[in-house]
Every structure is written in C-alpha cells, then in structure tokens.
Chains A and B, each alone.
Chain A
Amino acid sequence: ETGVTQSPTHLIKTRGQQVTLRCSSQSGHNTVSWYQQALGQGPQFIFQYYREEENGRGNFPPRFSGLQFPNYSSELNVNALELDDSALYLCASSFVPRGTDTQYFGPGTRLTVL
C-alpha cells in the first residue's frame, strides 16, 4: 500500500507568479483535502475534493483553486502569489464514505514566495 505523495518538495516563486502543487492519494482512497500550514501554526483547511468536485472550502480566496483527476490524484493551484502564501502545503487523502474520518497526510510542499 503506497502512502500519500506530494511534489515538488520545495518551491521558490516570486510575488505575482502562479504555482501548481501535486498530490497522489493513498491507494484505495477517493478524497483529497488540502491544508496550508504557516510557520509556527497548525494546518488550515483550504478545500476538499470528492468525485472530482470541490466538496467544502475553508476561508481562502478564489485564487486558490484545485482539481481532482479520475485516478483521485489532485492539484492545488495558486494564482497571483502573495508573500503570505509562503507556507507548507499539506495534502491528505481519505476514503468516503466509510465514516472513520481518518485523513492521511503527505510530507508536504514547502512554498517560499519572495
């Protein structure tokens, strides 16, 4: 059973640019959630994808968008990058419906915006 993987591991961008982060879900999982973890903070929910559609969104602006593909992998896109977007971006996968609510996290992508 393969775990959640994310790419790239590190990324440096400049303000105003666009970025795409990628996530492969754990084998057998059909739901992907994305979280932003700023330095010294707990992760904050960005959005969740289930059956290729957005299924819940946190308090993030529309320039944060995503996709889920038929193989359940996912992308997080951020347009018009701002300095405050610098953070660790975590992807988590789970299986719905099973009722266990357990999300398994990948190692994250560290994004630095200069």
Chain B
Amino acid sequence: AQSVTQLDSQVPVFEEAPVELRCNYSSSVSVYLFWYVQYPNQGLQLLLKYLSGSTLVKGINGFEAEFNKSQTSFHLRKPSVHISDTAEYFCAVSDGGGSNYKLTFGKGTLLTVNP
C-alpha cells in the first residue's frame, strides 16, 4: 500500500522569501509523483510531476521539486513566493501499474504568503 506524508500542515512565509513544502512517500513499487495546488473553493491544478528521468522537475508558476529515491521524498520549492501563491498544496503518488492510475494524496500543506 502507498502512503504520503506532508510534514507541515501550515507554512507561513513572507512575500519574496523562498519556501519548501515537504513530502515523503511510502511505496513498495516504482512510483509516479505529483504536486497539485488548490485555491479556495476550486478543484486541483497540476503543478508538476515526476515520471522518470531527471530527478529535478520544473513546473508552472516557478515551482520545482526534487525526487530523492533514497530518502523517499519529493519536496516542492520556490525561490521567491508571491501573495498569489497562497493556497493548499497536495503531494500525491501513483504506482502507475496497469491501467489503474489511482492517486494517493497527502493531507495537504496550507501555504500562506504574507506581505
């Protein structure tokens, strides 16, 4: 069984500061990893994904994440945040097996960017 742990439920930062949102996963098979963002009263928007290849993945809105297999981590980073980045961020894992692409999500990290 897969599981995802997002180590921080809330992360407050000031505008233009760097931020890292932490994600650890547990899986017995090879995984695909995702970060989604959810703005208030909206659905989920894909930020970035790791399927294979380079362990550093770049996404939309200046976000990037690094896949670390030995530490089973997939932390999300942004060098300089904006007020508009305030949202809930979810890390998710899929085992990519067969045609059943179930996503297992963490509980989310609320990023609050203050002026």
Decide: A45 and B43 in contact? CB cutoff 8 A.
no
Q: Please indicate the chain A residues that have their CB under 8 angstroms from the CB of B106 in the complex.
A: 42
Decide: B43 and A103 in contact? CB cutoff 8 A.
no
Decide: A97 and B44 in contact? CB cutoff 8 A.
no
Whether a CB of chain A sits under 8 angstroms from the CB of B114 is no
Given the contacts A43-B44, A105-B36, A58 and B101 also touching, CB distance less than 8 Å: no
Decide: B107 and A103 in contact? CB cutoff 8 A.
no
Partner of A45, one of B4, B32, B46, B102: B102
Given the contacts A90-B43, A102-B46, A106-B43, A48 and B107 also touching, CB distance less than 8 Å: no
From residue A91, how far is it (CB to closest CB) to chain B in Å?
9
Decide: B107 and A31 in contact? CB cutoff 8 A.
no
**Interface size for chain B: under 10, 10 to 19, 20 to 34, or 35 or more residues?**
20 to 34
Decide: B90 and A101 in contact? CB cutoff 8 A.
no
Decide: A48 and B102 in contact? CB cutoff 8 A.
yes
Decide: B107 and A41 in contact? CB cutoff 8 A.
yes
Decide: A56 and B100 in contact? CB cutoff 8 A.
yes
Number of A interface residues at 8 Å Cβ cutoff, please give it: 31
Interface positions, chain A 80-114, Cβ under 8 Å from B, are 90, 92, 94, 96-97, 99-108
Q: Please indicate the chain A residues that have their CB under 8 angstroms from the CB of B49 in the complex.
A: 100-102
Whether a CB of chain A sits under 8 angstroms from the CB of B103 is yes
Given the contacts A41-B107, A101-B94, A48 and B101 also touching, CB distance less than 8 Å: yes
Interface residues of A (CB under 8 A from B): 4, 6, 31, 33, 35, 40-45, 48, 50, 55-56, 58, 90, 92, 94, 96-97, 99-108
Interface residues of B (CB under 8 A from A): 4, 32, 34, 36, 42-46, 49, 51, 90, 92, 94, 96, 99-108
User: 19 A-B contacts, Cβ less than 8 Å apart?
Assistant: A6-B43, A33-B101, A33-B103, A35-B103, A42-B105, A42-B107, A44-B105, A45-B103, A48-B101, A58-B102, A90-B44, A94-B101, A96-B99, A96-B101, A101-B32, A101-B34, A102-B46, A105-B44, A105-B45
4 new A-B contacts at CB < 8 Å, known A33-B103, A45-B103, A108-B43: A90-B44, A94-B101, A101-B32, A105-B36
